[in-house]
Structure 1
C-alpha cells in the first residue's frame, strides 16, 4: 500500500474503531479475547482496504468486514472445546457514564444477546447502532424485508430470554 492509502486507512479506522470494539464486546467474553478479535478484525480490514471501492460508506463496509471476521472466528472457536465459565463473565462499564440500573440492564441485554445465533447477534448489534433496515440489509447481505422479519423474530426471542 502506498503512504496515502495507508494514511486514509488509519484515519478511517481511528474514526470508526468504536464499531469494532462493540462487535468485539458482543462476540467475546474477556478482555484478552476482545483484544485478539480487535487485532484480527483490524488485520482483515487492512488486507481488504485496497479493494474498498467507496460504493458504500466506510462504516458500512467496516461493519460487514468486522462482522464477517467475528462470525468466522466465533464459528471456528465453537468447533473446539468450550472452557469459558459464562457465570464468571462480567461487563465493566464506566460508572460516570451509566447509573447502576442502566448498567444492570445493559449486562442483562448482553447476556441475552450472547444466547442468540451469529446472524441474530449481528442484527441486534446493527439495530442498537440505530442503523435503518436498508443499512442492515446491505451490511448482512440479506433483503430489507428479511431484515425486518428477522428483527421481529429476534425481539420475540430476546423477550423470552429476558422474561422467562
Structure 2
C-alpha cells in the first residue's frame, strides 16, 4: 500500500486502527491496481467527523448480483451517507457494460439516499477469482 495513502488516512482519521477492515479496504480502494483511478479528495470527504464506518463484502454470479446481494441483505445501506466500493472482476477481460449495468442498478435500488452520498465512488480490480465480488466501504452518520 502506498505510504502516501496510509499517512493521509492516519492524518484524517487518527483513531482508525491500521489493522482494521476499514483502514485496509481504504488502502486497497485508493491503492495501486485500480482500473479507475480515484480522487484523493474522496478520502477526505469520506473520513469526515461524526461518521462511523463499516465494510461489507458480497459475491455473486455477476456484478449486478452483487448489488442486489448488498441491497437485499444489508438494509442499513439505505442509511449510508457515503460509500466507496470496488468490484473484483473474475479472471479474464473486464466486461465494462456489466459493471455499468450494476452501477445503474445500484442507483435505481438506492435512490432514496444515493444522490446525497458524499462521496459516492467506485472502481474495479482484476482478480484471479471465478466469482464476481463487491466490497463496500460505508460511512454512516454516528449521530443516528
TM > 0.5: no
* Structure (1/2) with the larger helix percentage: 1
Which structure has the greater CA radius of gyration?
1
Please give the TM-score of this superposition, normalised by the length of structure 1. Answer: 0.25
* Structure (1/2) with the larger strand percentage: 2
Bigger relative contact order, structure 1 or 2 (CA pairs below 8 A, ≥6 apart): 2
Please give the TM-score of this superposition, normalised by the length of structure 2. Answer: 0.28
